[in-house]
């Protein structure tokens, strides 16, 4: 499955705008997206774990401090994380549980089930089913990995509160779970692009676009 690139990003944006005029008006106002998948798999999953149940600003701060623990390269490889004491991991603002999750993730990449896993040959659900048995990795974390690391084009995470806020802002009203599923199904196979716009829409400070 081909990851998102500049060409498919433009194509998907055009398709979404034509398929959903309400979303299309927001897309026109926000403008073109800039997106590049983060290829480092351990780093991407680590960042997703760190970001769980945090605001975007808090997640950026703690993730930055976490990277600083591995200065000057700021590259926390599985081996380096395993060599770092949990207390030192917690010093950057991580909870005890998240520090444990990161070490378990490092173990999975260093000598466990993710060491030689070829994600490019797997579909989205196969990857999710591979990841969620790991401590601290739920469906949301796996979906963020699919989108931001592998660049999969058709990812929407219904459990993401910001995405929910964004889609309701586009609709101009609260939506039931069924209505969210119905609306996002119409965006397939470009739901990842819709998600990227919805995150921006959820934080839009201007007037709502009708």
- CATH code (residue 189): 1.10.1670.40
Q: What pLDDT, on the 0 to 100 scale, is given for residue 56?
A: 86
Question: Following DSSP, what letter does each residue of 65-121 receive, concatenated?
Answer: HHHHTTTTTT---HHHHHTS-HHHHHTTT--HHHHHHHHHHHHHHHTSTTTT--GGG
Q: How many domains does the chain have?
A: 2
Specify if 1 maps to a domain: no
Judgement on whether residues 51 and 111 belong to the same structural domain of the protein: yes
Judgement on whether residues 30 and 53 belong to the same structural domain of the protein: no
Count other C-beta atoms under 10 Å from residue 6's C-beta: 12
Q: Which residues contact 154 (CB under 8 A, 6 or more apart)?
A: 124, 188, 189, 190, 191, 192
Model pTM above 0.85: yes
- Of all residues in the chain, the percent with pLDDT exceeding 70 is 97
Q: What is the pLDDT along the chain (210 residues), one digit of tens a residue?
A: 688 999 999 999 999 999 999 999 999 999 999 999 988 999 999 999 999 989 889 999 999 999 999 999 899 999 999 999 999 999 999 999 999 999 999 999 999 999 888 898 999 999 999 999 999 999 999 999 999 999 999 999 998 999 999 999 999 999 999 999 999 999 999 999 999 999 999 988 876 565
Q: What pLDDT, on the 0 to 100 scale, is given for residue 179?
A: 96
Specify if 210 maps to a domain: no
Judgement on whether residues 116 and 193 belong to the same structural domain of the protein: no
pLDDT 10s digits, 192-204: 999 999 999 998 8
Full domain range(s) for residue 11: 6-36+155-202
Judgement on whether residues 88 and 168 belong to the same structural domain of the protein: no
Q: Which residues contact 137 (CB under 8 A, 6 or more apart)?
A: 45, 49, 101, 105, 131
DSSP helix/strand/coil, 44: helix
Give me 1's structure tokens.
């499955």
Is-contact 146 152, C-beta < 8 A? yes
Judgement on whether residues 13 and 97 belong to the same structural domain of the protein: no
Judgement on whether residues 96 and 141 belong to the same structural domain of the protein: yes
Judgement on whether residues 70 and 129 belong to the same structural domain of the protein: yes
Specify if 209 maps to a domain: no
pLDDT 10s digits, 100-127: 999 999 999 999 999 888 898 999 999 9
Q: Considering 123, 148, 173, which residue would you say is the last residue of a domain?
A: 148
């Amino acid at each position: 499955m081909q990851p998102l690139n500049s060409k498919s990003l433009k194509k998907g944006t055009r398709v979404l705008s034509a398929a959903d005029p309400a979303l299309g008006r927001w897309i026109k106002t926000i403008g073109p997206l800039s997106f590049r998948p983060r290829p480092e798999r351990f780093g991407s999953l680590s960042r997703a774990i760190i970001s769980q149940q945090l605001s975007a600003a808090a997640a950026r701060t703690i993730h930055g401090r976490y990277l600083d623990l591995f200065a000057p390269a700021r590259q926390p490889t599985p081996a380096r994380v395993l060599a770092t004491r949990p207390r030192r991991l917690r010093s950057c603002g991580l909870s005890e549980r998240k520090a444990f999750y990161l070490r378990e993730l490092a173990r999975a990449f260093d000598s466990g089930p993710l060491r030689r896993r070829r994600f490019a040959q797997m579909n989205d659900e196969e990857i999710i089913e591979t990841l969620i048995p790991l401590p601290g990795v739920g469906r949301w974390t796996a979906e963020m990995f699919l989108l931001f690391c592998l660049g999969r084009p058709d990812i929407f995470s219904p459990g993401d509160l910001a995405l929910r806020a964004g889609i309701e802002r586009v609709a101009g009203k609260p939506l039931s779970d069924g209505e969210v599923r119905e609306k996002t199904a119409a965006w397939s196979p470009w739901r990842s692009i819709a998600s990227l716009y919805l995150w921006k829409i959820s934080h839009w400070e201007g007037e709502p676009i009708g």
